[in-house]
Chain A
Amino acid sequence: MSANLSAIFYLISGVLFILALRGLSSPETSRQGNLFGILGMVIAITVTFLSVGNFSSGFVYVLIFLTIGGLIGAFIAYKIPMTAMPELVAGFHSLVGLAAVFVAISAFLNPEAFNLGSSGNIKLGSLIEMSIGAAVGAVTFSGSIIAFLKLQGIMSGAPITFKGQHPLNALILISIIVLTYLLCSTQSAHFFWIMLAVSFLIGFLLIVPIGGADMPVVISMLNSYSGWAAAGIGFTLENSALIITGALVGSSGAILSYIMCKGMNRSFFNVIMGGFGAAEQSGLSSGSKEQRPVKTGNAEDAAFLMKNASSVIIVPGYGMAVAQAQHALREMVDTLKKNDIKVSYAIHPVAGRMPGHMNVLLAEANVPYDEVFELEEINNDFANADVAFVIGANDVTNPSAKTDPESPIYGMPILDVEKCKSVLFVKRSLSPGYAGIDNNLFYKENTLMLFADAKKMTEEITKNL
């Protein structure tokens, strides 16, 4: 296949990838969009086979490795519970990163195969592109591994900070640039390997200080990095499908990071510098020392309140995911609806551990997506609703984000749960949320605390309805 013809096919697959993302603008078109994506991938892979045109025994091995990977991927895709999506996505990002590193390594070792010159005499431009792809890929890989371990709970979600962290990181970043320069001027493989090793290291160091509640930003950011790594490799391979995709994914991840940061009213820089929760707790203990009375209730009380309501708004949070309470919740809502009670769901942009996390869980529990609303769409409805049922969320309802300029979450957009006639909080204990901040809402006259496992409590309420 001629180079021009294959370039046109790569362009087509790039366009199909754009359509795949475009489809996600509404759930109706999204499934078709996904098929466009698959078609684009099939075209890209087929064209690559045809353009290399080397159907020797190497071809068999390519198919073998492709099949092995494909089977593992398909197995994971069918087995993974929806609550584990953040971990899965973090894990997948690490694989994209590592694949980018591996492709860069093989291009560096065998530049002839890629038309990049000869070993020890690689074209300067290609060498720079390759280094960028490899370095960003390495950062994506090690960063995603840390994010995965934190999400999986293997590593503590608490931010790990140490003295001199920021100067060290800055030093490492500068050394990557210096090493790339040395690599380009000497073509020595030593510099390539050192540069890679240092890039892996900086990936670890960048994510380690970021706390669990900031994971939505981290995942989006790593998503973005994996795109830039792919684009870097795309430039090396002079492949437009890869360049287009890399740019799409890179900007997609960047936009998601921006949306997540805005959902927390924090600057991107602030999140990256890390160390949220840890620093705040000390300053807060003074203000919240006195034991304030809270009203606690049981499933019967909650059922009574909701039975007499005409509209209920559900506010799910990460706690719902942990307790796997989404199905029990949907059953409760079904019962409420049978009693002619209007029910809707309110989702805060940073609810859960990744963008859109709650929406997927509710969809899994067969909640129709047109009953689920974003913050701006539903926030005015709280004032007219009778009951807000907060299940596993906390900080996103905290009124101090509006009233207390001292609060670390001051300025963060919150769901106006306090405006409801009554508020039900399903929580394990009075402990503060991830940000380590006490929630005044717990002590309000019209708040009833339901201390229990989210799933058990919801099931019991359903029984009492």
Chain B
Amino acid sequence: MEIDPFIFRLSIFILSIFIGYYVVWSVTPSLHTPLMSVTNAISSVIIVGAIIAGLAGNSENIFNTSSIFGFLAISLAAINIFGGFLVTQRMLQMYKKKNK
């Protein structure tokens, strides 16, 4: 019997939760705020779904209800991607060691 591809995706999901668990525990507490902003930025990889939705319309009918939601989602996710990564970068630049 063939295994449903869903099971493979579920495996990726479960294993990633474990990776996340160990990786996040190793994050130093002083970087917890950048951790939140960078997780915010990467969760906006949901933009791939938005792009597929936006490009689904054909050339006569670029804007239909479905693609409009896609376009809006692209903008929302883009705010997060740019805002999230840039603000994280800005914060990380500020963490300096004692200058001797």
Contact = CB atoms under 8 A, between A and B. Distances in A.
A70 B97 CA distance: 32
B36 A223 contact: yes
Nearest to B88: A34
Interface stretch (A71-79, A145-153, A178-186, A418-426): A71-79
A248 B30 CA distance: 19
Interface string A283-307: 0000000000000000000000000
Chain B interface mostly: helix
Contacts of A246: 13, 16, 43
A70 B91 CA distance: 19
Given A40-B42, A220-B36, A107 B24 contact: no
Contact of A113 (B66, B77, B87, B95): B66
A245 B38 CA distance: 11
B9 A99 contact: no
Contacts of A74: 82-83, 86
Chain A interface mostly: helix
Contact of A65 (B31, B59, B75, B82): B75
Interface residues of B, number: 84
Contact of A230 (B43, B65, B71): B43
A103 B50 contact: yes
B6 to A, nearest CB: 6
A88 B45 CA distance: 19
A269 interface: no
Contacts of B58: 56
Interface stretch (A18-26, A159-167, A382-390): A18-26
A27 B86 contact: no
B35 A70 contact: no
Interface string B44-88: 111111111111111100101111011111111111111111111
A255 B9 contact: no
A38 B69 CA distance: 25
A72 to B, nearest CB: 5
A459 interface: no
Contacts of A449: none
B74 A250 contact: no
Contact of A22 (B23, B37, B86, B88): B23
A211 interface: no
Given A37-B85, A102-B76, A248-B19, A240 B12 contact: yes
A41 B81 contact: yes
B12 to A, nearest CB: 5
A65 B40 contact: no
Interface in A57-100: 57-59, 61-62, 65-74, 76-78, 80, 82, 85, 88-89, 92-93, 95-96, 98-100
B42 A17 contact: yes
Interface stretch (A168-176, A368-376, A394-402): A368-376
A233 interface: yes
A410 interface: no
B76 A95 contact: yes
Given A37-B85, A247-B20, A44 B79 contact: no
A128 B58 CA distance: 28
B35 A21 contact: yes
Interface string A2-16: 000000001001100
A37 B13 contact: no
Interface in A235-260: 235-253, 255-256, 259
A382 to B, nearest CB: 19
Most B CB within 10 A of own CB, among A44, A45, A69, A71: A69
B27 to A, nearest CB: 5
A356 B82 contact: no
Most B CB within 10 A of own CB, among A10, A78, A256: A256
B90 A77 contact: yes
28 contacts: A17-B45, A34-B38, A34-B88, A41-B85, A54-B55, A56-B59, A65-B71, A69-B81, A73-B81, A74-B86, A77-B86, A92-B80, A103-B69, A105-B66, A112-B56, A114-B52, A226-B40, A230-B43, A230-B46, A233-B46, A237-B49, A237-B52, A247-B19, A256-B24, A256-B36, A355-B36, A363-B96, A369-B96
Given A26-B28, A356-B33, 19 more contacts: A25-B26, A34-B92, A56-B55, A56-B58, A66-B74, A77-B83, A78-B90, A95-B44, A96-B80, A98-B76, A102-B73, A103-B49, A226-B43, A231-B13, A248-B20, A252-B39, A357-B33, A364-B94, A369-B96
